[in-house]
Amino acid sequence: MPPHSREDAPPHRTPRWIALGWVAVLTVVAWHHVPKAHANHTHTGSNQLHLSTLHGNNGTSTTPGDQDEQYCVQSRSTSINGTQMANFIEETLAKLSTIWDGTANWRVDLWRASKFCFDYDSATRATIEYEYHIKDDFYEVSLCGGDYSCVVFDNGVYDGSHTHYKWGYSYLQTEHVNGYNTRARKFINHETGHILGLMDPSYNGHCMNSVMHNDLYASMGCTDPVWYPTASDKSSVTRIADRTNTW
């Protein structure tokens, strides 16, 4: 089943009615949205689902700044070794030849936190921009809806032009990533694309060479097996970072 970008049910930090309100808004937007044919697309308008740090880059070569993106990893499955998974995610995001890290002239600057998410005190954890949680089934907490991996945003802030989010969560199902293989990287890169503001295909046949529009969406006719962020994926994230995204 395809992964899903869910904007509902933040894990534990925002009253649920606020999140449901956004879902209502987004549903309306989605119905009236007419994307360019076969074009990669982003969240646009007054509410944009991406990390608030995406527009800046202020770290050094050895230390993340508050405009960089720190992430932690948390295994919530007894069958997933947290360190092994964190190593695999870090490799996928930042160490292979085609990666998200460095996108938009290093405004995407991904830093792995040294500890697992649950091992931080809440004040320190609040400074970490996003989290990967691996769990056997997110259905029980109503996050991703059964078979899906998904992304959830929380702590929206208005920057003068749009609202974006200080915290993002990538919920990955154990079955999607426990092969530590190309398929697992495909899910990690896809859900990270959501963290960076990209959307899923919005209609049947909305396919292209994109980790967001690949064969995870075979149900919508997409067949490209690409598992890494492509040039068009990166240019779309750059448009978000530049605030020039209009589709």
The one-letter amino acid code at 224 reads D
Beta strands 130-135 and 4-5 are unpaired
- Residue 72 vs 196, nearer CB to Zn ion: 196
Give the shortest CB-55-to-Zn ion separation in angstroms: 6
Give the shortest CB-243-to-Zn ion separation in angstroms: 7
Give the shortest CB-92-to-Zn ion separation in angstroms: 16
Q: In the bound complex, which residue of the shown chain has the CB atom lying closest to Zn ion? A: 164
Give the shortest CB-117-to-Zn ion separation in angstroms: 21
The string of DSSP letters for 96-155 reads: SSS-STTHHHHTS-EEE-SS-GGGS-HHHHTTS-EEEEEES-SGGGTSS-TT--EEEEEE
- Residue 23 vs 83, nearer CB to Zn ion: 23
In the complex, which residues of this chain contact Zn ion (CB under 5 A)? Answer: 3, 5, 164, 200
Give the C-alpha separation, 38 to 36, whole Å: 6
- Residue 95 vs 243, nearer CB to Zn ion: 243
102: left (phi over 0), alpha (psi -120 to 50) or beta: left
**Which residues are registered as beta bridge partners of 4?**
150
Give the residue carrying structure tokens 């075979």: 218
Residues whose CB is less than 8 angstroms from the CB of residue 142 and which lie 6 or more positions away in sequence, other chains included: 9
- Residue 82 vs 213, nearer CB to Zn ion: 213
Give the shortest CB-48-to-Zn ion separation in angstroms: 5
Structure tokens at 112: 């792995």
Helix (H) or strand (E) holding 177: helix 174-177
- Residue 2 vs 11, nearer CB to Zn ion: 2
Phi, then psi, of 19 in degrees rounded to 5: -65, -40
- Residue 82 vs 100, nearer CB to Zn ion: 100
Give the shortest CB-119-to-Zn ion separation in angstroms: 28
